[in-house]
């Protein structure tokens, strides 16, 4: 291991400055890893020519159809040691907790079989073990697998899930995100490892409306914590907060910032909340962490169809379940069943390479809700339709049906 370093005048410029440098890190690897030497060479070549030089291909492990991102160099004659530079995706634990013993084992395995470069974490939420020859994929994966880690999704499959720190270290957490994450994802193991869906399908779990996992736009099914009853108010702590910050601060930064104007600072420095009009946005609770907390009757709101740009433009998820409890084993069973129903409806009705949100755009929300065996709810829309282009000859029958449903 002593391949001569390529000249990298452009990359060298990324070694200065106060932020940690990935170039310095790769150079350190290059001292005893020739793959890293040629990786730097190819990257410099990209910087010089302003073009990328990796192409996809096929690489996998026994028993799985996905989870490896194959990369073959198009300039391998110049940089032969990194001609194969595959990534292995590994699913971390919910909220990305690690003990150092585990991380050190990761490093040892990857130093032995790969380039020594690990991204913590990729945008989907995987541990990205970057830089592996075709030959070494299997032995490297075997080692991670023996440690209790499994491969994440890639291609048209269920992808690795993500959940916020939630219950482990956040007072805003409205449900057990880690449990929901594991129960849902681990019910789809076959769909994670053997890509056979129209396209990718992502689940993300945020414990409250702050949506730290960005689930509303980054997942096909977003599970966001909420509550049904009143915000818990500790009026003594409200008074302490007002005393510390002043009435003006509280009015400017708490009460007038409420999107539905449901907060009022009373003359005696207590807070009055019109809970019927609270939309669970989290703002006041974010500001007054000691005085205010989510209510006690907690559960989740579920949105479907968030995605990134291609093909039809970025989409935010849309509400399909305004509220469901998520506490008992039965509740979690219902969540898993719902996720299964949503995905199966999309598998049945989605076009090739069409995300769930694009399908909803194409067929309309009504068809999805009907397909899921659910009823529409005014919480699913910002406002009713603004155009008369709809057949209403079923109106009376529908009113009658709804009456029957209501009557049970």
Partner 1 sequence: MSAQPRMPTESGTPDHFQYMHPTLRRNYGQWSWHERPRPGVLHHVSRTGDQVWTVRAGTQRQMDVHTIRKLCDIADKYADGYVRFTIRSNIEFMVADEKKVKPLIEALTKEGFPIGGTGNSVSMISHTQGWLHCDIPGTDASGVVKSLMDELHQEFINEDMPNRVKITTSCCQINCGGQGDIAINVQHTKPPRINHDLVANLCERPSVVARCPVAAIRPAMVNGRPSLEVDERKCICCGACYPPCPPMQINDPEHSKIAIWVGGKNSNARSKPSLHKLVAAGIPNNPPRWPEAAAVVKKILAVYKQDAHAWERMGEWVERIGWPRFFELTGLPFTKFHVDNWRGARASLNTSAHVRF
Residues 381-400 that bind partner 1 (CB under 8 A): none
Does position 119 bind partner 1 by CB under 8 A? Answer: yes
Does position 216 bind partner 1 by CB under 8 A? Answer: yes
DSSP category for residue 220: S
Does position 252 bind partner 1 by CB under 8 A? Answer: yes
Question: 264 pairs with which residues across the strands?
Answer: 272
The Cα 95–Cα 192 span in angstroms is 19
Figure out which of the listed residues 37, 59, 88, 141 binds partner 1, where binding follows CB under 8 A. 141
Does position 229 bind partner 1 by CB under 8 A? Answer: no
* Residues 104-137 as b or e (16 or more Cβ within 10 Å = b): ebbeebbeebbbbbbeebeebbbbbbbbbbbebb
Figure out which of the listed residues 1, 5, 28, 248 binds partner 1, where binding follows CB under 8 A. 28
Q: State which of positions 294-353 bind partner 1 (CB under 8 A).
A: 308-314, 316, 351-353
Taking alpha carbons only, the member of 125, 150, 312, 96 closest to residue 204 is 125
Figure out which of the listed residues 134, 138, 240, 270 binds partner 1, where binding follows CB under 8 A. 138
Count of residues engaged in binding partner 1, rule: CB under 8 A: 131
Q: State which of positions 43-62 bind partner 1 (CB under 8 A).
A: 43, 46-47, 49-56, 61-62
DSSP category for residue 187: T
Does position 259 bind partner 1 by CB under 8 A? Answer: yes
Taking alpha carbons only, the member of 232, 191, 205, 224 closest to residue 343 is 191
Is residue 184 within 8 Å of 339, Cβ to Cβ? yes
Identify which of residues 75 and 338 has a Cβ nearer to partner 1 in the complex. 75
The Cα 195–Cα 225 span in angstroms is 30
Does position 107 bind partner 1 by CB under 8 A? Answer: yes
Q: State which of positions 186-215 bind partner 1 (CB under 8 A).
A: 186, 189-190, 192-193, 209-215
Identify which of residues 210 and 349 has a Cβ nearer to partner 1 in the complex. 210
Is residue 140 within 8 Å of 88, Cβ to Cβ? yes
Does position 29 bind partner 1 by CB under 8 A? Answer: yes
**Closest distance between partner 1 and the C-beta of residue 296, in Å?**
13
Tokens read off for 65: 């159809």
Does position 10 bind partner 1 by CB under 8 A? Answer: yes
**Closest distance between partner 1 and the C-beta of residue 317, in Å?**
9
Other Cβ atoms less than 10 A from the Cβ of 52: the count is: 10
Identify which of residues 132 and 407 has a Cβ nearer to partner 1 in the complex. 132
Figure out which of the listed residues 2, 63, 328, 391 binds partner 1, where binding follows CB under 8 A. 63
Q: Is beta strand 87-90 parallel, antiparallel or unpaired with respect to 127-132?
A: antiparallel
């Amino acid at each position: 291991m002593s391949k001569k370093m390529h000249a990298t005048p452009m990359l060298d410029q990324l070694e200065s400055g106060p932020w940690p440098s990935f170039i310095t890190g790769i150079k350190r690897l290059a001292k005893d890893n020739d793959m890293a030497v040629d990786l730097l060479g190819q990257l410099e070549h990209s910087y010089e020519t302003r073009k990328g030089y990796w192409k996809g291909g096929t690489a996998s492990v026994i028993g799985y159809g996905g989870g490896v991102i194959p990369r073959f160099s198009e300039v391998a004659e110049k940089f032969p040691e990194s001609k194969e530079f595959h990534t292995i995706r590994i699913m971390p634990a919910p909220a990305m907790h690690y003990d150092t013993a585990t991380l050190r084992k990761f490093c040892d395995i990857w130093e032995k079989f790969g380039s020594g470069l690990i991204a913590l974490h990729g945008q989907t939420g995987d541990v990205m073990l970057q830089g592996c020859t075709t030959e070494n994929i299997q032995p490297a994966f075997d080692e991670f697998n023996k440690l209790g880690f499994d491969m994440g999704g890639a291609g048209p499959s269920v992808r690795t899930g993500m959940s916020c720190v939630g219950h482990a270290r956040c007072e805003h957490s409205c449900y057990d995100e880690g449990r929901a994450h594991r129960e849902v994802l681990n019910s789809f193991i076959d769909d994670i490892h053997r890509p056979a869906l129209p396209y990718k399908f992502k689940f993300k779990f945020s414990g409250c409306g702050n949506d730290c996992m960005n689930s509303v736009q980054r997942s096909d099914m977003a599970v966001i914590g909420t509550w049904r009853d009143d915000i818990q108010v500790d009026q003594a702590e409200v008074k302490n907060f007002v005393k510390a910050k002043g009435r003006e601060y509280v009015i400017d930064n708490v009460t007038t910032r409420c999107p539905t104007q449901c907060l009022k600072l009373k003359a005696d420095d207590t807070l009055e909340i019109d809970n019927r009009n609270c939309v669970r946005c989290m703002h006041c609770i974010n500001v007054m962490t000691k005085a205010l907390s989510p209510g006690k009757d907690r559960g989740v709101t579920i949105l479907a169809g968030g995605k990134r740009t291609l093909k039809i433009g970025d989409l935010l998820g849309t509400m399909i379940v305004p509220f469901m409890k998520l506490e008992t084993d039965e509740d979690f069973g219902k969540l898993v069943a719902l996720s299964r129903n949503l995905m199966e409806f999309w598998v049945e009705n989605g076009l090739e390479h069409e995300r769930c949100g694009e399908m909803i755009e194409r067929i309309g929300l009504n068809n999805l809700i009907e397909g899921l065996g659910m009823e529409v709810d005014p919480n699913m829309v910002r406002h009713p339709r603004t155009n008369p282009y709809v057949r209403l000859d079923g109106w009376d029958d529908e009113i009658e049906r709804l009456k029957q449903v209501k009557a049970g």
